[in-house]
Structure 1
Amino acid sequence: MHASRARRSGALVITAGLAFGLSACAISADGASSGSGDDQTLTFWSYYQGTQADWLQKQADVFEKNNPGVTVDIVETVGDQQDQKLLASVATGDTPDLFINNIVVDYPTLVAGGVTADLTEYWEGFADKDQFAESAAWSTDDKVYNLLPFTNLIGLYYNQDILTEVGIDAPPTTLDELQADLEAVKAHGQYQGIALSGAPTVEGAWLFAPELLGLGIDYCNFEGPEVEAAFQRAETWAKAGYTPQATATWDQNDSWQQFATGDYAFGINGNWQLGNAAEASFAWGTTQYPAPAGGESIVYPGGEGFGIGANSDKKDLAWKFLEEAVLTPEAGESIFEIAGSIPVRADVAELPAIKENVAVQPFVAAAQTSGSWPKNENTANIQKALGEAVSSVISGQTTAADASATAIADIAAAIEDGGGGCS
């Protein structure tokens, strides 16, 4: 399961008490949109479910109210089918006016397939674009095609009760500090170290990659002694028992369930778990992903991209929807409150709903410095190559030296298989 889609499911968990269905206004069945001949009807393909779907419908209702005569027709689609449906729509000349997409995986394919409209002129003319981190505007050949206004990120959760008992004064801010704390927890003898996903999938890769991102090493330049050093750290933690061998198969939900038992001092997970954390029976807190020595805390962003269909004959109206219903501070605050996603807009961090939530602040900070994903049609396999290598070290099947060499070679091969482009 791709990290973005895993996070989407996670966002539903933290708001389980909210309504799960969509409102009835302007919803079509999966397929052709209604009102496609009406110049004031915007067709929006979306695979959002639950609270995210509720948020999108709310934004559409407000937009319609503020723009009399305009209808936003939300067409319900299936997430793992939307990529192919969008590509097929180009051949028929019937791309939707607006759509969301699993940006980490789908973006390169959709751009190469001619699905997405060039948003450069709109984005450059957008008065508030400076409020967004650079990673919010996805571009190819200096042309903007997709926007990521909201995101989901990972950070470090800690069990304050355990830290206090063990004698750890403050949560770690670096990987070296985290390793020292893990040593202290093991020496204490009563608790487990860290719960994280080490699965041989994109999830395991997503949690491991920040150990190198903070040093300026991403999938596009994945090589050097720092790579082997990161794998050696994973090997050290596994052999010492800081990360149980079972971690090699845990996904993000598995690792959260383990942290929630109260037996683990630390857990790496995402902002979508904040609602679950509030129900914990122990004192807890959050901090940013620990930075590597000599580097920064940088993680990859996840979430949905927003685009305009290349064949849309209502691009100006579609952009007006994005500008008024998606990119505003109010939209950012709303999706945080309803679905738990983190707005990328810098000024939204100052809104009371977010500023007064201490636990979410590390994730808000991470959104402003998040890394850039590779723009390659084979992005999923690029990540999987890393996840498999990391999992093999945690499980004890491969040495750090062999796993790092394999990861370097397999990532390079996956990039080549995807056309050779990366950034």
Structure 2
Amino acid sequence: MTNSTSRRALAFVVAAAAVMSLAACGGSSSAKDDKTIEFWDPYPQKTADSSWQAFVEKCAPDGYTVKRVGYAQSDLLNNLTTAVKANNAPEIALIDNPKMPTAVDAGLVTDIKAAGVDVSGYDENIEGPGIVDGVQYGVSYGSNALGLYYNPTVLQKAGVDPASITDWDSLNAAIEKVVNAGFKGITFAGISGEEGTFQFLPWFWGAGGKLADASGSTAEQDALDLVSGWVQKGWAPKSVATDNQSAAWDLFLTGEYGFSENGSWQAESAAQEGYEMIPIPGKDGGVAPVPTGGEFITIPTQKNMSDEKLAATVKVIECLVDGDNLKSLNDEMVYLAAKSDVRAEQVKENEVWKPWVKIVESASGRTTDVGLKYEDISAQLSEDLQAALNKA
């Protein structure tokens, strides 16, 4: 990592200053309302009259107000970088899963455990991206995941038993039967950028791929051959090269396709249509690991935060993830909680979550093993995917 040691040293010093409330003179933060806790999230679609807004504001401690600001996912980190440099950062920021090492490396976030947040009891695989060099910089309250949806009506007419799909060969055989029966095969998102990489990773990991040795590996080539082969054969639409996950799902909702790789956030929509889901199969069998999704709650770097303000900030975070609120938070985001007992409650309340539990529990953090290097790895995988899909 470029300058990672010095940057993390700076982040540690600033975090210690925040936790120990070492006084600093001047700075723009002196102009901030000391009784307002600013809260940034990447959910601009959740408006001021949304249930999310009410949920966040309700967590304000006595005597404090929570001011929520929603930024587009692509803008939040840039705005946070500017705010930290100006010593005008929010007290809380929700950062996208794969961006955590970037935020840590830039000194934008602090040691959340040292700040006093209880980080015990969470699933290690979900929390992995928020832990850098053994220090936990954020708390992930839950995760979404990817699965292989199917249309039971289409499969029945094509003579396909979904239970027979256990590896890539049997999946290809099933798609071929669907197409031969007069239907369309499979939709997925191959769009350039992280969203396309996100959907490509289960196939890459399912072929035994390792992110540390991704581009040019046998696993990458096998996965590229698989998904581009679907396009070459006409089993997947040529639009996959530009389709995001919403566009891929819209195609599946036409009822013309047998399969769609998509996320757990579509579970309710799928249930309404009578669609079902199986885990994405590995190349030679078993369940392919999928990437964890979701965001991390973080405490951005502050040069001068009082003990009282820090304690109030911690109370807001713990309110969001404490007890029944953790379930409410994940229900709001359509995620599966990062604690097994809360997931069990979600399943008890809504059976649609049942097949997703094992997928989430075996999911992998994209940056857990490779840290900041993931940015370049993801970009190269995306480039290779685009080349394969556009050549198909």
Q: Secondary structure at the match of 1:95?
A: coil
Shift of 1:267: 0.6
For residues 133-152 of structure 1, the aligned pairs below 5 Å read: 133-137=124-128, 138-152=130-144
TM-score by length of 2: 0.79
Q: Would you say the 8 A contact 1:182–1:242 is kept in 2?
A: yes
Shift of 1:259: 0.9
- 2:209 corresponds to 1:217: yes
Q: Secondary structure at the match of 1:130?
A: coil
Structure-2 residue corresponding to 1:43 = 38
Q: Give the one of 47, 57, 60 matched to 2:53.
A: 57
Q: Would you say the 8 A contact 1:343–1:364 is kept in 2?
A: no
Q: Secondary structure at the match of 2:162?
A: coil
Aligned equivalents of 1:165, 1:360: Cα separation in 2:
27
Structure-2 residue corresponding to 1:307 = 298
TM-score by length of 1: 0.74
Structure-2 residue corresponding to 1:206 = 198
Shift of 1:194: 0.8
Q: Secondary structure at the match of 1:93?
A: coil
Aligned equivalents of 2:160, 2:338: Cα separation in 1:
33
Shift of 1:160: 0.3
- List per-residue Cα deviations over 1:196-218 (Å, max 9, x = no partner): 12233322222111112245534
- 2:90 corresponds to 1:99: no
Q: Give the one of 381, 385, 389 matched to 1:386.
A: 381
Structure-2 residue corresponding to 1:359 = 352
Q: Which amino acid aligns with 1:100?
A: L
- 2:167 corresponds to 1:174: yes
- 2:276 corresponds to 1:276: no
Shift of 1:301: 1.9
- 2:64 corresponds to 1:73: no
Structure-2 residue corresponding to 1:347 = 341
Q: Would you say the 8 A contact 1:100–1:306 is kept in 2?
A: yes
- List per-residue Cα deviations over 1:149-187 (Å, max 9, x = no partner): 122222111000111122222343433331221122233
Q: Secondary structure at the match of 1:209?
A: helix
- List per-residue Cα deviations over 1:23-62 (Å, max 9, x = no partner): xxxxxxxxx9999343x54222234234487354333343
In structure 2, runs of 5+ residues without a counterpart are: 1-27
Q: Give the one of 90, 104, 111 matched to 1:111.
A: 104
Aligned residues: 355
Change (3 A) 1:211 1:44: same
Change (3 A) 1:216 1:229: closer
Q: Give the one of 123, 135, 145 matched to 1:153.
A: 145
- What is the identity percentage for the equivalent residue pairs of Structure 1 and Structure 2? 25
- 2:325 corresponds to 1:334: no
Structure-2 residue corresponding to 1:318 = 313
Q: Would you say the 8 A contact 1:51–1:339 is kept in 2?
A: no
Aligned equivalents of 2:281, 2:31: Cα separation in 1:
51
Shift of 1:117: 0.8
In structure 1, runs of 5+ residues without a counterpart are: 1-31, 398-423
Q: Which amino acid aligns with 1:116?
A: V
Aligned equivalents of 2:246, 2:202: Cα separation in 1:
19
Structure-1 residue corresponding to 2:120 = 129
Root-mean-square deviation (CA, aligned residues, Å) is: 2.9
Q: Would you say the 8 A contact 1:95–1:309 is kept in 2?
A: yes
Change (3 A) 1:286 1:376: same
Q: Which amino acid aligns with 2:339?
A: R
Structure-2 residue corresponding to 1:5 = none
Q: Secondary structure at the match of 1:109?
A: helix
- List per-residue Cα deviations over 1:70-91 (Å, max 9, x = no partner): 3323244454333222222333
Shift of 1:260: 0.9
Q: Secondary structure at the match of 2:94?
A: strand
